[in-house]
A and B are shown apart, each in its own frame.
Chain A
Amino acid sequence: MASEPTTAPMGHDAALLQKQMQHSTFKRPGELAVVALLWLCGTISLITTVLIVTTLFGETIDFFREVSPAEFFLETRWQALIPGTESFGIWELVAGTANVVLWSMVFALPLGLAAAIYLSEYAHPRTRSILKPILEVLAGVPTVVYAFFALTVVTEYVLRPIFGADRVPIFNSLSASLMMAVMILPTIASVSEDAMANVPRELREGAYGLGATRLEVAIKVVLPAALSGVIAAVLLAIARVIGETMIVALAAGSTPTLTLMPLEGIQTMTGYMLQVGLGDAARGTINYTSLFAVASTLFVFTFALNVIATWIVNRFREAYE
């Protein structure tokens, strides 16, 4: 093997080395097969993406053979499951999703940012190491559990006593949005906190040196410096809200409505998809293909949000050195 630096002719040495290298790349039988398997693993994710795109867009094309794109994109009424009076205007479902995004953000954004600022700028390291994992448990709670609480606790014991039973229908967007806000709180807090923790000490100390208080340092120095990370966190959270199904399906209702008001029954894109899934629509019917048209719309929305979030993080990352 390792011969001492020798006086042997160069040609001989090089040939030996080459032979050894060939030998050592796949020394044992079967190694080539294992490496081939690893390549296969690497391509499975690509196959998954191809499958998602082809199944979604394949059936969506079938949908547009029966429903004109003009109706889908320009009409505002979505009435799919009642034969004879079908109308496929996507905007009522998009409005339902936007409704939940709006109201969940109204609660999650201030609370999430406050938590991030507290954990990053105020909390003792030991306090943070206790609080942060507990907060992250919120993200691990199965969403069907949140759905149960939205329906049974939030609507009945929070919203109805506050707004009056006659003004709060059983299924309303606010109960779903509130639970959704709890669900995404850790996403916003944790990702923002990571961004804030990466802001260099010198910036903070400079501000303290000029007489700023802790709050002023947090809001006027750290938050702007970490803004790209905070925005990315919010976009990721919005993508999760858009894609979340169980909470809205159980608590927000199943009546597509073109409204952003919080105390109304609505239906989101995911809510409609689950409704069709439960109804076992036969293959080839308009209800079945409409499922894929809505799914494609949802996919485009979440995909765009994820791409923009990644882009913002890479493009606007403040490099301090």
Chain B
Amino acid sequence: MALAPPQSDQISLRAQGRVARRQAFSRLSRYILLLATLAGIGVLAVLAVDTMVRGLPVLDWQFITSYPSRNAVDAGLRSSLLGTVWVMGTTIILAIPVAIGTAVFLEEFAPKGRFTSVVRLNIANLAGVPSIIYGILGLTVFVRGVELQGVTLFPALGTTILAGSLTLALMILPMTVIASVEAIRQVPPSIRDGSLALGATRLQTVRHHTLPGALPGIMTGTILAISRAAGETAALIMIGAFAFIAFDNKSVNEDFTTVAIQIYNWTTRPQEAFRANASAGIIVLMVMVIGLNLVAVLIRERFRRK
């Protein structure tokens, strides 16, 4: 190649031979890699279309407001939607204060030492524990109660909304703490130091400066954790929550079902009509989950600009 005499005035800068092959391969790789990136998104799109086609014909007001039923046509989401709202609400009330408290404790009050590093490591490990293990924990501790030599350490709650919410609260606690810790770390130390220098107590500093500054990050992490709890099925089935519920929940001491459990229930039925119900249930659940995710992303984007 190089030995060929240069064609007077046409000196080409194009690579030839091996170099050209390498460059062509590299240019081609862009499209192959893009294709691989889009593969997962493509699957998501196909599944979304499939769900719409099957589910939308079933999804109407009657479906939303009916109790479950043996007949696919009469069955609806009423009790499972109410159950989901009850469980989510109770989980939020139980988990969020503890999560924020833990994060504030770790970042602002915990003594630097072995105890604190053990707590940190422990939370990181808890985040990796499978949800079904939390289900077993809920079953043995919250549903059946703990008794040691005749002394009740924890009362047996039965398969109630409270037991389910306690289980889910423990499950989302590590994620929420990790997100809150990250958010608190993003607050500039100068704000904290300034407040302390002006004579505020550490607790006043946390309440008036650190927490407000960290709030968007805490909310983003919390909402994502809640959306995970909304779709959780295995942990709730493990504590025994797959009863037939045909009443409106009025308190946290009642049996319950959720949309995710109802989808599971309908999927296990062999009849095609129940599959359509499951698809309609999936639409409702995905609207909730994607809605929560969108809110989280919006909060993050809105406060990042500032």
Binding site for B on A (CB under 8 A): 1, 24-28, 31, 34-35, 37-46, 48-49, 51-52, 55-56, 59, 110-111, 114-115, 117-119, 122, 131, 133-135, 137-138, 140-145, 147-149, 151-153, 182, 185-186, 189, 211, 213-216, 218, 236, 239, 242-246, 249-250, 270, 273-274, 277-278, 280, 283, 291-292, 295, 298-299, 302-303, 305-307, 310
Contacts and interface: CB of A to CB of B under 8 A. Distances in A.
A298 B130 contact: yes
Contacts of A148: 263, 267, 278-279, 282
A215 B26 contact: yes
B50 interface: yes
A41 B275 contact: no
Contacts of A25: 201-202
Contacts of A218: 29
Nearest to B121: A310
Contacts of A211: 19
Contact of A141 (B19, B234, B267, B289): B289
B56 interface: no
Interface stretch (B6-14, B57-65, B69-77, B103-111): B103-111
Interface stretch (B132-140, B185-193, B210-218, B249-257): B132-140
Contact of A185 (B25, B40, B116): B40
A142 B129 contact: no
B203 A35 contact: yes
Contacts of A151: 267
B177 A45 contact: yes
Nearest to A217: B26
A147 B289 CA distance: 16
Given A38-B105, A48-B126, A144-B263, A292 B136 contact: yes
A170 B60 CA distance: 31
A37 B101 contact: yes
Which of B29, B98, B141 has most chain A Cβ within 10 Å? Answer: B29
Contacts of B132: 243, 245, 270, 273-274, 295, 298
Which of B47, B136, B177, B293 has most chain A Cβ within 10 Å? Answer: B136
Given A118-B36, A244-B130, A51 B137 contact: yes
B93 interface: no
A118 B41 contact: no
B241 to A, nearest CB: 10
Nearest to B19: A211
24 contacts: A37-B101, A38-B101, A42-B106, A44-B102, A44-B173, A52-B129, A55-B140, A119-B37, A135-B40, A137-B44, A142-B286, A142-B289, A143-B231, A147-B267, A148-B279, A149-B50, A153-B46, A186-B40, A214-B29, A215-B26, A242-B130, A270-B234, A291-B136, A299-B129
Which of A28, A45, A55, A117 has most chain B Cβ within 10 Å? Answer: A45
A249 B22 CA distance: 47
Contacts of B286: 141-142, 145
Interface in B284-306: 285-286, 289-290, 293, 297
Contacts of B237: 274, 277-278
Contact of A42 (B102, B129, B290): B102
Contacts of A147: 264, 267
Contact of B110 (A37, A42, A111, A250): A42
Contacts of B123: 45
Interface string B228-249: 1011111001101010000000
Nearest 10 pairs of A and B residues by beta carbon: A142-B231, A243-B130, A41-B101, A114-B36, A213-B26, A245-B234, A306-B128, A118-B33, A215-B26, A38-B105
A44 B232 CA distance: 22
Given A51-B137, A135-B37, 8 more contacts: A48-B137, A52-B129, A140-B227, A142-B231, A143-B234, A214-B26, A245-B233, A249-B234
